[in-house]
Structure 1
Amino acid sequence: MKYLNRKALLGTALLMAMSLVSCEDILEEQPRSIYDPGFFQTERGVQGGITSLYAHLRYIYGQAYYYNATETGTDEATYGQSADQNFLVMDLSGQGEITSTTSRADVLWGTAFSNINTASGIIENAAEVGTIPESLIAEARFFRAFDYFLLVKTFGGVPLDLGAGELMFNSNPTRTSVRNTVPEVYTKAIFPDLLRAVEELPVNPRVTGGVTQTLARLYLAKAYLTYGWWLANPENIPTFPEAPRTDPDGHDAQWYFQQAYDVALNAIQNPGPFGLMDTYYDVNVATNDRNKEILLYADHTETSEFYNGGSLTYGSGGAPDNFAGWMMTWNYTNIRSSLDPNWTNPISSVQREAAQALGRPWTRMAPPIGVITNTFDDKVNDSRYDGTFTTVYRGNWPKAGVDAEVVYNANGLPVEPGGAILTFLDEQPATPINYPSAAGKSNVGAGELPGRSDFVIGPRDISRIVYPGLWKLGPYRTDNNGGLGQPNAGSTRPFNIAKFSELYFIAAEAAVMGASTQAGYSARELINVIRARAGNWRWDNNGNQPKVEDLSAEMTAATPQEIDIDYILEERSREYFGEGYRWFDLTRTQKWEEFAGTYEIAGSSYGDHTPVTVTRNIQPHHYLRPIPQGQLDAMEGATGMYQNPGYN
């Protein structure tokens, strides 16, 4: 791992410099190890720098250790059976401490500053070229604000001066650094850049996946909302560097909540080419990637290792691979069925496959029981549970060359290829599940119910080693050729970063916090747009069959008449579970300890179905991640005042 701020060595941490191929209207990457200052004073240099801003997303999003830092320790995720220290410490449950050397937020710190410096180089020099449109420079402004927003939410105040002055392009390595305050980062960097981006970015993307006015509005609204919460500070969470909870421009929290509402609503009412998909399934099914709801993604491809940025046959377990989806995938390949009714010839009936429901298992993270029983309590009307998890594991042994028309499974009953081998039940059954004392015939501790050929596990019986998989982030390849494909490779799907649907949540949250609303756009009405969509089914994912059913009326009728922050957070988890939003949602609203202070889950052994309650030690200083040790080691002089309190 390189820790590059040190006030940002411009090119050495830059991942790729690229050129544009306008005839195909896509971003084509050309590796370049370093940028010299004069590079941005050419049209080719500006274009290459712009494209590198997109490439840097792959070193943050889909990078599993950073993903872990955004999910583990929340109500959405705890550590799984195979977790190493990277995951154990983030859980804050007595398995280790988050420190400057163990926090995996270092991934963000080590990537964002060189990208910020590249953006500053483009902004500062593009005007001298004379042929660069303002809309292209606005892309650099967006990404500079984007990275600063991620940093300030994660670490508190961060440096605006990377060695050449505030928001200036720096080409000389320096070993000193001063952190600006949170208000300075927002009012000097994030807001001005995003406001310019909204004015100057196009409505339609310049290239496939390019940033747009709608995307800039989403991030401006989100930044206003987050800063409003920071000013309000309802739970008196400390900040660093220490600063009064006052705005340099004289606005209060309510002003910012109103701005968040107004900007988000403007984007909803003027969507350009974007909008909500008809069903939740359509948002996340891999065959529909890059759909109109996705405003920004870290892209990948299965057609070229060069443009993918990683192997197409084997995953490295590091950036720029998209390997986040492995983390909450348990080792389903350990499931056993038999080639004969007497169970003398067991085989692995669910083989590792490059398919969205399966993929490469790492078992580093696991959902607590409350996710299944509380967050997704409505599994009948609400399609989002079905569109989030793999709950049925189906036999695919013929793809591994096993020539058998059936295998024998639970209760000695036969199962054909494609049939259910193991099912995570939606509800705890009235008839008690007959579980083995250990791994049992299934080899994974699954139980049996009378008359069923599939092994089963109840929703309160999941553990750190066996739990529903995260279908939403599963891999997808079109080159499997009828076989298992390349399940060990990083996912060649894009990692989604920003969705049009979040505009509804931002406006609703701002309304709950006191923003004046327009007719037809109250908090409840905004949330009900999302809930109505969640009730519209076209496919039963885990039933593996069509389900054309409109249950939107049932969904909206069940929405409380009065929406509060807790309900919005619950809805956000149903909508964005496992996508890397949760830690930011809980720290923004200062609800982290309330929502995630305890959780239930069974242990790490096959056959363990006894839930235990785990208590986390979430302290106020944990609301900021520690500055990485690599940054501190690279600096000259005293660094004690640079580190966030509680981590010295």
Structure 2
Amino acid sequence: MKNIFYLVIGLFFVSGCSLKEEILDTLTSDNAISKQADVTAFLNGTYATLQTDGGFKANYAIFWSTADDINIRPGIATNLPYSIKTHDSATPATNNFWNTMYATINRCNFLLEKIEPLNINAAYKTRVKGELYFLRAFSYFYLVRLFGNVPLRLKATALTDDLTPERASVDKVYEQIFADLKLASNTLLTRTTLPVAEFGHATKGAAQAMLAKAYLTYASHQSLKGVDAVQNYTLAKVYADSVINSNQYKLIASYNDLFDIAKERAAYEEVIFGISFTRDAQLGALGSQFAGFFLPTTMPNVAGQGTSKTGIENYVVQPWFYDKYSSGDYLNDYRVERSFLTTWTNTANRKTITYPLLRASTTSNEVIQTTTVQPFIYKYVDGAGITNSNQENDLFIIRLADVYLIKAEAENEVNGPTPAAYAAFNLLRARARNANGTIRTTPANLTAGLTKDEFRMKVFDERALELFAEGHRWFDLVRFKAPNGKSMMEYQFGTFLPTLKAGLPVYNNTARRWDGGVTEPNSLPAFNARFMLLPIPQSEIVANPKITQNTGY
């Protein structure tokens, strides 16, 4: 077990009565919180909501496959509408994620109200409140970015309440996120003083890192609307510096070690907050499914499928994305090898290759991958996985590398590409040159001479590779300003991607080359304004007549 909040997940999610049902009405002897142990159990259960199928275990598709870098393989039924951009207000994962985020918020509100009069250790009470403020802000940060205006609920729901709140403006939601994260920052423990039993809980650094990211995102939102965002970019830089200068975190020396399942605990010297998962032989509910869903069906000892421990290759990489981020600045970049899979020894002990690799000759016996010719995601591997939905890999929400890029971006937006912006950016290039112990000459550092717009695009590209398959790309497409002044989402789907040859690659053995196109085109349709937000779930609209739908749904 990685941390203690797994021990209480059964209490809240396996019992016949859900936690939400228990807290909507009057407290009883079965659900009362009267002592510190009750607070601890309830807090751990609140963290555990993030690990459920409705949260980050299974619903990452709503903001991973809706971007331009990863697609769900054609023919896969689960969550395919998100990949081909036909999802609507009734598509289940959207409703599930919405409900999970609001369930987390409701639990935070409930415990914030119930903890105040308890006669428990004052210091513990203070920092628990900080964790609850963090989790509430964390949930609203995902909701506001995914759905835009959303109802703002700051007290636990009771049957006597008005259950039809209106959508609060984006500005109001961010105002609450900033307030909650500042309260959390003032009361949470640092990473190095957090008790071992509370591994995975929010820390002071997590609150400050999320403040930096939230201010940067809000500033980007303002900038795209033509609103002066200097103040919020400046605050993003201030909070990024507070994390960097705390000396609580460091870049792991080798990019490989960040994603080595055997070294995952040590990775939290760089990982500032993550969603923890663990293999679970009893309930089967606590593990992650990334390795299983991302890796090939013919590669043994990497996931949890069958006796060979293969994956089921539901999610794959767009060929154009691999091409772009393995060439130019990123030629021979070690992060490419650790992020993308293009060759492996298969279950029959033969070498398998897929795009863009070539057979050694027209008569050599490498197996060409045919069911899926696209590169695979290689960041998540767990050869001890129990099933393909029951593996150990965590989801890193924010790590120090992201904070350095936040600082570089914010500094550039306020002052242009200053030496401080270059320095923060180049720390990631320096780490990328360490190929798991062998130092390379690439990727090279950025040098002076870029314009503000050019530097912004360098940050955008660096984020694309450094943070690939960690759940950031859709959010970056929505908030980054493109060379034409519009969002990168509109630029990519409306301007850049249509210039690429549509269709998947096809191996030509006679000529020893890949023909065809470089896109899975069904997942890259023409830009539509609805790509910028998800729909409000239909169940919410039916239940609340004050809720309006997002444009295009």
With the length of structure 2 as denominator, give the TM-score of the two structures.
0.82
Report how far residue 127 of structure 1 moved.
Answer: 1.8
Establish whether residue 135 from structure 1 lines up as the match of residue 127 from structure 2.
Answer: yes
- 8 Å CA contact 2:426–2:446 kept in 1: the answer is no
Say if 1:476 and 1:495 are closer, same or farther in 2 by CA, change over 3 A.
farther
Say if 1:493 and 1:367 are closer, same or farther in 2 by CA, change over 3 A.
closer
Secondary structure of 1:501's partner?
Answer: helix
Deviates more, 1:256-265 or 1:376-385: 376-385
Report how far residue 525 of structure 1 moved.
Answer: 1.3
Measured in 2, the distance between the counterparts of 1:568 and 1:375 equals 13
- 5 Å matches for 1:459-470? 465-470=372-377
- 8 Å CA contact 2:429–2:444 kept in 1: the answer is yes
Say if 1:52 and 1:486 are closer, same or farther in 2 by CA, change over 3 A.
closer
1:222-253 Cα shifts (integer Å, max 9, x gaps): 1111111122225x7xxxxxxxx6xxxxxx51
RMSD of aligned residue pairs (Cα, Å): 3.2
- 8 Å CA contact 1:209–1:295 kept in 2: the answer is no
Say if 1:45 and 1:605 are closer, same or farther in 2 by CA, change over 3 A.
farther
Establish whether residue 172 from structure 1 lines up as the match of residue 72 from structure 2.
Answer: no
Question: Equivalent residue for 1:254?
Answer: 230
1:388-423 Cα shifts (integer Å, max 9, x gaps): 1222221444xxxxxxxxxxxxxxxxxxx5xx5113
Q: 1:496 aligns with which of 360, 382, 396?
A: 396
Say if 1:177 and 1:41 are closer, same or farther in 2 by CA, change over 3 A.
farther
1:287-311 Cα shifts (integer Å, max 9, x gaps): 21132112222222236434xx52x
- 8 Å CA contact 1:391–1:468 kept in 2: the answer is yes
Secondary structure of 1:130's partner?
Answer: coil
Establish whether residue 113 from structure 1 lines up as the match of residue 107 from structure 2.
Answer: no
Report how far residue 74 of structure 1 moved.
Answer: 2.2
Establish whether residue 182 from structure 1 lines up as the match of residue 173 from structure 2.
Answer: no
Report how far residue 593 of structure 1 moved.
Answer: 2.3
Establish whether residue 550 from structure 1 lines up as the match of residue 439 from structure 2.
Answer: yes
Report how far residue 493 of structure 1 moved.
Answer: 2.5
Establish whether residue 583 from structure 1 lines up as the match of residue 474 from structure 2.
Answer: yes
Q: 1:78 aligns with which of 71, 77, 81?
A: 71
Aligned partner letter, 2:321: V
Secondary structure of 1:305's partner?
Answer: coil
Secondary structure of 2:444's partner?
Answer: helix
Aligned partner letter, 2:261: A
Question: Equivalent residue for 1:322?
Answer: 288
Q: 1:158 aligns with which of 150, 153, 166?
A: 150
- 8 Å CA contact 1:465–1:606 kept in 2: the answer is no
Measured in 2, the distance between the counterparts of 1:136 and 1:268 equals 24
- 8 Å CA contact 2:277–2:394 kept in 1: the answer is yes
Measured in 2, the distance between the counterparts of 1:79 and 1:497 equals 22
Establish whether residue 233 from structure 1 lines up as the match of residue 212 from structure 2.
Answer: no
Say if 1:277 and 1:426 are closer, same or farther in 2 by CA, change over 3 A.
farther
Question: Equivalent residue for 1:99?
Answer: 88
Say if 1:486 and 1:120 are closer, same or farther in 2 by CA, change over 3 A.
closer
- 8 Å CA contact 1:464–1:601 kept in 2: the answer is no
- 8 Å CA contact 2:188–2:204 kept in 1: the answer is yes
Measured in 1, the distance between the counterparts of 2:318 and 2:46 equals 36
- 8 Å CA contact 1:217–1:264 kept in 2: the answer is yes
Measured in 2, the distance between the counterparts of 1:616 and 1:595 equals 10
Measured in 1, the distance between the counterparts of 2:445 and 2:336 equals 19
Answer 1 or 2: which has greater helix percent. 2
1:470-526 Cα shifts (integer Å, max 9, x gaps): 12123242xxxxxxx745452232222221211001111111211589x8622x211
Secondary structure of 1:422's partner?
Answer: strand
Q: 2:140 aligns with which of 145, 148, 166?
A: 148
- 5 Å matches for 1:157-306? 157-161=149-153, 167-172=154-159, 175-187=163-175, 189-204=176-191, 205-206=194-195, 207-234=198-225, 252-272=228-248, 274-290=249-265, 291=267, 292-302=269-279, 304-306=281-283
Structure 2 residue ranges without an equivalent (≥5): 13-17, 481-486, 509-513
Measured in 2, the distance between the counterparts of 1:456 and 1:366 equals 16
Aligned partner letter, 1:70: F
Measured in 2, the distance between the counterparts of 1:631 and 1:50 equals 26
Say if 1:425 and 1:610 are closer, same or farther in 2 by CA, change over 3 A.
closer
Report how far residue 260 of structure 1 moved.
Answer: 0.1
Establish whether residue 388 from structure 1 lines up as the match of residue 294 from structure 2.
Answer: no
Say if 1:51 and 1:208 are closer, same or farther in 2 by CA, change over 3 A.
same
Deviates more, 1:149-158 or 1:128-137: 128-137
Measured in 2, the distance between the counterparts of 1:604 and 1:330 equals 17
Measured in 2, the distance between the counterparts of 1:118 and 1:154 equals 21
Secondary structure of 2:414's partner?
Answer: coil
- 8 Å CA contact 1:464–1:602 kept in 2: the answer is no
The share of aligned pairs that are identical, in percent, is 23
Question: Equivalent residue for 2:57?
Answer: 63
Q: 2:352 aligns with which of 399, 418, 422?
A: 422
1:316-339 Cα shifts (integer Å, max 9, x gaps): xxxx652234444344x3xxxxxx
- 5 Å matches for 1:332-351? 333=298, 350-351=299-300
Measured in 2, the distance between the counterparts of 1:175 and 1:144 equals 19
Structure 1 residue ranges without an equivalent (≥5): 1-20, 162-166, 237-244, 246-251, 311-319, 334-349, 398-416, 428-432, 434-446, 458-462, 478-484, 539-547
Establish whether residue 31 from structure 1 lines up as the match of residue 28 from structure 2.
Answer: no
- 8 Å CA contact 2:340–2:375 kept in 1: the answer is yes
Question: Equivalent residue for 1:594?
Answer: 491
Establish whether residue 475 from structure 1 lines up as the match of residue 466 from structure 2.
Answer: no
